[in-house]
Amino acid sequence: MPSSKAPLLQVRDLSVSYQTRRGNVRAVSNVSFDLYPGETLAFIGESGCGKSTLNLALIRLLPKTAIIESGSIRYRKRDGSIIDVQSLNDKQMRRFLWSECSMVFQGALNAFNPVIRISDMVYDTAAAHGMNKSEAKDRVMDLFTKVRLDGGRVFNAFPHELSGGMRQRVLLAISLLLNPQIVIMDEPTTAVDILTQRSILDVLERMREELHFSILFISHDLAVAAEIADRIATMYAGEIVEIGPVDNVFYHPRHAYTFSLLNAAPRLSTEKEELHSIPGSPPDLIKPPSGCKFHPRCSFATEICQMEPPPLVAAEDEPLHSVACHHVDQVLASQRR
């Protein structure tokens, strides 16, 4: 599927650093990936691995202490023209947000202004993009129905009058107000209850089928990623260490880190299971380890891992599945046992 269409978003060699008193923290390091129309790409990894920084960089919402050191972000508009997101001026950037790429943040309450009604939030967003009030209202009411919300009740409500699940669905609806091609979702189902999570995931799935937008999904919850993603990208210490179709990555992980993450996730459907934590903690990104950044915590590591950083290359037998690990064969062999 992906190879047949032109990518919507092309990220190449993107590096982002935060400047701190102790030195430069390289939170995202030489990241390259493509996002195709209609697909969901999920980023997984421990906290501090650079998932959120990467996605904030894509929409230029990084804090002032962060600088994009290198790389390009190319976006293909509906008319086929390609724009460089980094070269947009402020006005163009404001247009780009919401109408081309929108974002749903985690912890839905923080994403609202507590003293304005949902309706005003909708109108403000619409006005900034030249959409008139009645058109905005019609469209958002339609979206509210799609996300299974009672539009009449929600539209004039204040954020605090809504439950967590409702707020998250309101955000989802508003993020689609201007019909963007990409929606970035940062842990949208973290901190909600099981049944609420289920309804958000179901709604998301239905909206995706109807409206065909692409999703960049950030989650530390492997189960949610397994359900929603078409492709998975594992991040470690600011780098993409493995990227491929969801089934490949979950059933035949090729990077030792992905393999370890999967081994630490409890499942309901299996009988008694053997799980293992990953020893140690993610590295200090001011002074990252030499070679493969995962080597100090890796049970497969050998001398070469300390010396040379492994490049992210496509597997010979699985061209859509790329991995940056010196010991792919051993990682795969250990799964056959």
Partner 1 sequence: MAVSEVMPQTSPVSAMTPAEQTPILELRHLHRWFTKGRQRIPVIQDINLSIQPNEILCLVGESGCGKTTTGKMMVGLLEASQGEILIEGRNRQSYKGKEKSLLRRELQIIHQDPFASLNPAHTVEQILSFPLVKHKLVKNRAELRKRIWDLLTLVELTPAADIVGKYPHQLSGGQRQRVSIARTLSVQPRLIVADEAVSMVDVSIRIGILKTLLDLRSRLGLAIVFITHDLALAKYFAWEGRIAVMYLGRIVEIGSTRDIIANPAHPYTRALLSAVPEADPLITRRKKPLVLRSEDIPKLTDIPPGCAFHPRCPFFQPGQCDRELPVLSPPPGFVQEVACIPLQGDGTLTPYVE
Is residue 286 part of the contact set for partner 1 (CB under 8 A)?
no
Find the shortest distance in angstroms from Cβ 337 to partner 1: 15
Find the shortest distance in angstroms from Cβ 299 to partner 1: 13
In the block, residue with structure tokens 């995962």: 294
Find the shortest distance in angstroms from Cβ 286 to partner 1: 15
Closest CA to 36 of 286, 254, 212: 212
Q: Are 214 and 34 in contact (CB under 8 A)?
A: no
Closest CA to 154 of 183, 190, 118, 125: 118
Is residue 262 part of the contact set for partner 1 (CB under 8 A)?
yes
Find the shortest distance in angstroms from Cβ 289 to partner 1: 16
Is residue 25 part of the contact set for partner 1 (CB under 8 A)?
no
Question: 13: helix, coil or strand?
Answer: strand
**Position among 80, 90, 194, 337 found at the interface with partner 1 (CB under 8 A):** 194
Is residue 59 part of the contact set for partner 1 (CB under 8 A)?
no
Is residue 252 part of the contact set for partner 1 (CB under 8 A)?
no
Is residue 198 part of the contact set for partner 1 (CB under 8 A)?
yes
Is residue 153 part of the contact set for partner 1 (CB under 8 A)?
no
**Position among 11, 147, 226, 324 found at the interface with partner 1 (CB under 8 A):** 226
Encode 157-223 in three state secondary structure.
Answer: CCHHHCCHHHHHHHHHHHHCCCCCCEEEEECCCCCCCHHHHHHHHHHHHHHHHHHCCEEEEECCCHH
Find the shortest distance in angstroms from Cβ 200 to partner 1: 10
**Position among 68, 86, 151, 250 found at the interface with partner 1 (CB under 8 A):** 250
Is residue 247 part of the contact set for partner 1 (CB under 8 A)?
yes
Rounded-to-integer distance, Cα 19 and Cα 29, Å: 14
Q: Are 173 and 140 in contact (CB under 8 A)?
A: yes
Rounded-to-integer distance, Cα 174 and Cα 261, Å: 34
Is residue 269 part of the contact set for partner 1 (CB under 8 A)?
yes
**Position among 154, 224, 241, 324 found at the interface with partner 1 (CB under 8 A):** 224
Is residue 318 part of the contact set for partner 1 (CB under 8 A)?
no
Q: How many helices (H) and strands (E) does the chain have?
A: 12, 12
Nearer to partner 1, 66 or 262 (CB): 262
Helices 90-99/118-128 angle, 10° precision? 130
**Position among 131, 246, 256, 328 found at the interface with partner 1 (CB under 8 A):** 246
In the block, residue with structure tokens 């040379």: 308
Question: 90: helix, coil or strand?
Answer: helix
Is residue 163 part of the contact set for partner 1 (CB under 8 A)?
yes
Find the shortest distance in angstroms from Cβ 273 to partner 1: 7
* Interface contacts to partner 1, rule CB under 8 A: 46-47, 148, 163, 165, 193-199, 201-202, 220-224, 226-227, 246-247, 250-251, 260-262, 264-269, 272-279, 281
